[in-house]
Amino acid sequence: MSRILLIDDDQELCELLVELLQPEGFAVETINEPHSGLQRALSGEHLLIILDVMLPGMTGFELLQQLRKSSAIPVLMLTAKGDDIDLILGLELGADDYLAKPFNPRELVARIRAIRRRTEMDAASHSSQTPQLMIDDVQLDPGSRTVKLNHKELDLTEVEFSLLYELLQQAGQVVSREELARKVLSREFESFDRSIDVHVSSLRRKLGNRVNGRERIKTIRKIGYLYTRQEA
């Protein structure tokens, strides 16, 4: 069975999710305290982490920040319903996806399966002979999953890397949010879902503008995004 680590101080919710996820083929380990939760998250024994934002003694954000110093394990964050600040901060710190409480249990299962599909595709790309992408001063290597800007390596999250890969592949063309959600998050785009937008915003900051001040990633209102090519 695929192992999931659930870090949440709500014991009733933990019991509910264990009952929900076990029949779906997931073995769930639950921890109600963040410090021991971080130790277990760093063990490398789990498929992904489900992490609540509100934890006693250490917030989920602080735990995620510590985790990302040495681990790229997928993290699904549970946030307060409608709290955009939680959403934005969690994704910027390296969470792969989020779900607002209270949530539909079936939606949680769908998000977990989507993250697993993406990580399996990412693992396959490590061993593939997919050629490197070079667009102006950005070089992306799918095999090593590294990105260099002006020959300097960038520190991107797994989702940011996948997002940039899709945009570079279609540089100069508009890529819809629906397509990016399917290819990057391995799930269908949902109305009012800001995940892709937040990941793009974080990626923009890391890439910066071109020397002439022109945006690298241009927003196409109500449609999606376009990675611009350098003007001749």
pLDDT classification of 205: cutoffs 50, 70, 90: very high
Percent of the chain residues topping a pLDDT of 90:
67
Does residue 133 surpass a pLDDT of 60?
Answer: yes
Phi, psi of 205 (to 5 degrees): -60, -40
Where does CATH 1.10.10.10 sit in the chain? 128-227
Picking from 31, 69, 24, the residue whose alpha carbon sits closest to that of residue 50 is 31
pLDDT 10s digits, 82-93: 667 888 888 888
Q: HSE (CB half, 13 Å, CA atoms) of 75?
A: 32
Q: Provide the pLDDT for residue 210.
A: 87
pLDDT 10s digits, 6-35: 999 999 999 999 999 999 999 999 999 999
Do 162 and 118 touch, CB atoms closer than 8 A?
Answer: yes
Where does CATH 3.40.50.2300 sit in the chain? 2-123
Higher pLDDT, 105 or 153: 153
3-state secondary structure (DSSP) of residue 57? coil
Picking from 182, 177, 174, the residue whose alpha carbon sits closest to that of residue 194 is 177
Q: Provide the pLDDT for residue 137.
A: 93
Tell me which CATH code domain 2-123 carries.
3.40.50.2300
Does residue 204 surpass a pLDDT of 80?
Answer: yes
Picking from 129, 217, 126, 123, the residue whose alpha carbon sits closest to that of residue 170 is 217
What average pLDDT does the segment 94-116 reach?
90
Hunting for tokens 């609540």 — which residue is that?
A: 52
What average pLDDT does the segment 121-140 reach?
79
Tell me which CATH code domain 128-227 carries.
1.10.10.10
Q: Provide the pLDDT for residue 232.
A: 47
Does residue 130 surpass a pLDDT of 90?
Answer: no
The whole-chain average pLDDT of the chain stands at: 90
Q: Provide the pLDDT for residue 126.
A: 58
Does residue 127 surpass a pLDDT of 60?
Answer: no
DSSP 68-115: TTT----EEEEEETT-HHHHHHHHHTT-SEEEEES--HHHHHHHHHHH
Buried-state track 150-185, b at ≥16 Cβ within 10 A, e below 16: eeeebebbbbbbbbbbbbbeebeeebebeebbebbb
Q: Sort strands 138-141 and 146-149 into parallel, antiparallel or unpaired.
A: antiparallel
